[in-house]
Amino acid sequence: MEFSKIRADVNNDDTLDYLGAEVSISGIANISSGLLHEHYLQAFIQNDSAGMSIFAMRIDTPFEVGDSLVVRGNIQRYNGLAEVNATSYQVYKNARFVPASKSLSAAIANPAQHLGMLVAGEGNVIEKGNTFNGKFVRISQENKVGSMMVYVSNFHRLYDDFNLDVLRIGDRISVTGIITEYNPEFPNERTYKLFLRTPDDLKYASIPQYYLYLLFGGVVVGSIFIIGWVIVLRRRVDSKTSEIQHSLKEKDVLLREIHHRVKNSLSIVSGLIELQLEGTNSKDARNVLRNSQSRIHSVALIHEKLYQTESISDIILDNYIRDLVEAIHATFSDSKKFVALSFDLEKVILDIDRVIPCGLLINELVVNAFKHAFNKNKEGTPKISLKNRHQNIVLTVSDNGPGLPARFELNKDESLGTMLIDSFTAQLDAQMDIETTSEGTSFIFTFPKNKKM
């Protein structure tokens, strides 16, 4: 019998014309057996133009979507739904194919013409809730009249897998399902529903608001956490920075105090030598003591510069050289009125490890000039030059004395002063050149700006 005749109600008395008649029908299953009810046979078959509900108290032979079914049974109506109560059915697996789905728009416009058929389409959620035997969302399509209830019965074998709670009003979803009619209030009320078969029949056409809320909430919570973490971290960093700065300040004060005490200790040693000088008549002894005193003063002046300036590890070399040479000049009080100092100094900053040998080197050369190049009552001009040359520093100590003796070789001179000059030159990793003429002598030292590791 044709599906339309099974639903026929010519006189519109809400009673099927062939109610109770025994019929034989066939069609393609558009839902697997055992889904809508685990024990009862509740399923739908369809052909190209219509669909039909079939029901039985048990499932004799399971079937899948696309299987062909031949059903024998009686016509009945259950809560408004016209169906065939099957007394027997045959399943033909070899004819399987998936029935084509109809348009959801057409089903919303005329659901009675699509009963038992598979439909698919998209819509926006306008309502959601629960009924006495299931849960649902209602969807509508933009600029179109009508809506459709998308329904899952609580008898559905996969009922708990349908998570409709994540949907919000306004979410756009894509659905595939079977149009059916079911309402206990029939005939006073008629309700058409789209039965979902599996959770895969409902998909999100856009990102659900639920996930947007979760994402926004996660961003907010994450931002709060990050901000809080940054604040805590900043406080810890500030605290540690403050501790480090305090520690560095203490170390700076300590180092300055050490430099000050070293300078004072060296000054005491210089003072003791001065006392020794007053009690010594030997010219040679006085020369040795005066030389030692000059070297001690050279080192003491370095420590004085260190505790008086901002840096406790670097010295402005040009300022130090000027002060050192002027102090040596003052020491030779008998000669200073006949000797005019000359400086040509560029600004150079040098670490203390190299300032000490540099200062002692200058001390040896300038003291020697006062002793040998400028005799008493002889006018002279010691000249100190300090230049930056690319990655090197060039230090020149000159005098306009009589020059070095003929055939003088520095590396063969075994005097203490010469040995010290060699030692300090090596400590600076410097190249030494000596230029001597009838107009005087120049010692030229070239050494790198940066200390080699």
Mean pLDDT of 179-198: 88
More confident residue, 213 or 167: 167
Could you give the 3-state DSSP secondary structure of residue 217? helix
412 — pLDDT class (breaks 50, 70, 90): low
**Backbone phi, then psi, for 102, in 5-degree steps?**
-95, 170
- In this model, does residue 302 exceed pLDDT 80? no
Query: For the chain, how long is the longest CA-to-CA vector?
Result: 153
Listing from the earlier edge strand, what are the strands of the sheet with 431-437?
A: 342-345, 383-389, 392-399, 440-448, 431-437
> Of 315, 325, 296, 389, nearest to 353 (Cα)?
315
208 — pLDDT class (breaks 50, 70, 90): low
> Of 197, 17, 179, nearest to 110 (Cα)?
179
Q: What is the pLDDT of residue 225?
A: 87
Q: How far apart are CA 346 and CA 351, in angstroms?
A: 16
Per residue in 234-251, pLDDT (tens digit) is 888 888 888 888 777 777
Per residue in 258-294, pLDDT (tens digit) is 777 877 887 888 788 878 888 788 878 877 887 787 7
Per residue in 51-105, pLDDT (tens digit) is 999 999 999 999 999 999 999 999 999 988 999 999 999 999 865 677 889 999 9
Q: How far apart are CA 446 and CA 449, in angstroms?
A: 10
Poorest-pLDDT segment among 12-26, 56-70, 293-307: 293-307
Query: What torsion, rounded to 10 degrees, do the Cα atoms 192, 198, 200, 204 define?
Result: 40
Q: How far apart are CA 176 and CA 118, in angstroms?
A: 7
Percent of the chain with pLDDT over 90: 40
pTM: 0.51
Tally the residues of the chain: 453
Q: What is the pLDDT of residue 310?
A: 64
Q: How far apart are CA 104 and CA 177, in angstroms?
A: 9
Q: Is 99 exposed, middle or buried (0-12, 13-18, 19+ CB in 10 A)?
A: buried
Q: Any idea what the Cα angle at residue 359 is, between residues 358 and 363, rounded to 5°?
A: 120
Q: Is 30 exposed, middle or buried (0-12, 13-18, 19+ CB in 10 A)?
A: buried
Q: What is the pLDDT of residue 385?
A: 93
Poorest-pLDDT segment among 120-129, 367-376, 425-434: 367-376
* Chain mean pLDDT for the chain: 85
405 — pLDDT class (breaks 50, 70, 90): low
Winning range, highest mean pLDDT, from 104-108, 227-231, 379-383 = 104-108
- In this model, does residue 2 exceed pLDDT 70? yes
Which residues neighbour 220 within 8 Å (Cβ) at sequence distance 6 or greater? none
Asked whether the beta carbons of 80 and 183 are under 8 A apart, the reply is yes
Asked whether the beta carbons of 190 and 234 are under 8 A apart, the reply is no
Q: How far apart are CA 295 and CA 291, in angstroms?
A: 6
Poorest-pLDDT segment among 31-35, 267-271, 415-419: 415-419
More confident residue, 363 or 174: 174
Q: What is the pLDDT of residue 258?
A: 76
Per residue in 125-171, pLDDT (tens digit) is 999 999 878 999 999 998 889 999 999 999 999 999 998 988 889 99
> Of 245, 242, 240, 112, nearest to 180 (Cα)?
112
Bridge partners (DSSP) of residue 128 are 137
Q: Which amino acid is at 109?
A: A
DSSP state of 59: -
Q: Any idea what the Cα angle at residue 160 is, between residues 154 and 165, rounded to 5°?
A: 100
Query: What torsion, rounded to 10 degrees, do the Cα atoms 326, 328, 330, 332 define?
Result: -140
Mean pLDDT of 104-121: 94
Q: How far apart are CA 173 and CA 137, in angstroms?
A: 10
Q: Is 377 exposed, middle or buried (0-12, 13-18, 19+ CB in 10 A)?
A: exposed
Mean pLDDT of 316-332: 84
Q: How far apart are CA 146 and CA 180, in angstroms?
A: 16
Which two tokens mark 31?
Answer: 């839902």
